[in-house]
Amino acid sequence: MPLDRPPRSEVDDFLLHELRVWLQQAGALRKRKDKMLRTPVGAAMADDPGAAWDRLTRRLLPTGWDGFVAETAILVLLELGDDMLFEDLLELVASAAADSGWAATVGPQRQAPATDDVSWSLHESLRMWRLCGLADLHGGWRKRTIALTDIGTAAMLTSLRHVAAGPSDSP
């Protein structure tokens, strides 16, 4: 679809799709036949910003390997508290993954995760963080820097608290 025309559906706008998936994971939306409906949880979120914050920050981080990568990246960014080279972030996360025993399979061999493995795993989380204004990337392709925004710092701290407290009882 040409860029000069507005999207007709979420298929035309990937960020809209990502936002819908996030809201569905939070239990705010459900799909019934061809219609997207707000759930009672979604109505409560619309009426109570605190409830919305709680539900949405519970779903900022994926699980498994992607979750490890996202959590580690957040911890590095929170510790630094300032812009850092994106490549340096990937190297620190890859190093932490190797130190923690994570491994990548390349053919029959298992080896420590490389920065490319980390970059691929961080890609979807980073897209969501940028969509929501939680993280900023600046600079050219070779000298990109990344930093959490002020709201991103608050959201990530809340999200990490949710992870530390254990799984939620609801979807």
pLDDT (mean) for 116-144: 89
| pTM higher than the cut 0.85 | no
Between 104 and 115, the more confident residue is 115
Please determine, for residue 1, whether its predicted confidence score (pLDDT) is greater than 50: no
Of the ranges 70-74, 127-131, 160-164, the best mean pLDDT one = 70-74
pLDDT (mean) for 118-137: 90
Mean pLDDT value across the chain: 87
d(CA 80, CA 89): 10
Percentage of the residues of the chain whose pLDDT score is greater than 90:
50
pLDDT (mean) for 38-66: 90
Q: Give counts: helices (H), strands (E), the chain.
A: 7, 7
The DSSP call for residue 10 is G
Q: What is the pLDDT of residues 14-49, one digit of tens each?
A: 777 788 888 888 889 998 888 889 999 999 999 999
pLDDT (mean) for 47-73: 91
Q: Is the CB of residue 83 less than 8 Å from the CB of residue 59?
A: no
Exposure class string for 49-81: b at 16+ Cβ within 10 A, else e: eeebeebbbbbbbbeeebebbbbbbbebbeeee
Crossing angle for the helix pair 150-165 and 64-80, to the nearest 10 degrees: 130
Q: What is the pLDDT of residues 148-157, one digit of tens each?
A: 999 999 999 9
Q: How confident is the model at residue 7 (pLDDT cuts 50, 70, 90)?
A: confident
The DSSP call for residue 152 is H
Terminal Cα-to-Cα distance of the chain (whole angstroms)? 35
d(CA 145, CA 10): 30
d(CA 58, CA 9): 27
Please determine, for residue 169, whether its predicted confidence score (pLDDT) is greater than 70: no
Taken in order of first residue, the domains within the chain and their CATH numbers are 10-57 (no CATH), 64-165 (1.10.10.10)
Q: What is the pLDDT of residues 89-113, one digit of tens each?
A: 999 999 999 999 998 887 888 889 9
The structure tokens listed for 4 are 């000069």
Bridge partners of residue 105, in order along the sequence: 110
Percentage of the residues of the chain whose pLDDT score is greater than 70:
95
Geometric angle at alpha carbon 73, from 29 and 80, rounded to 5°: 125
Q: Is the CB of residue 170 less than 8 Å from the CB of residue 156?
A: no
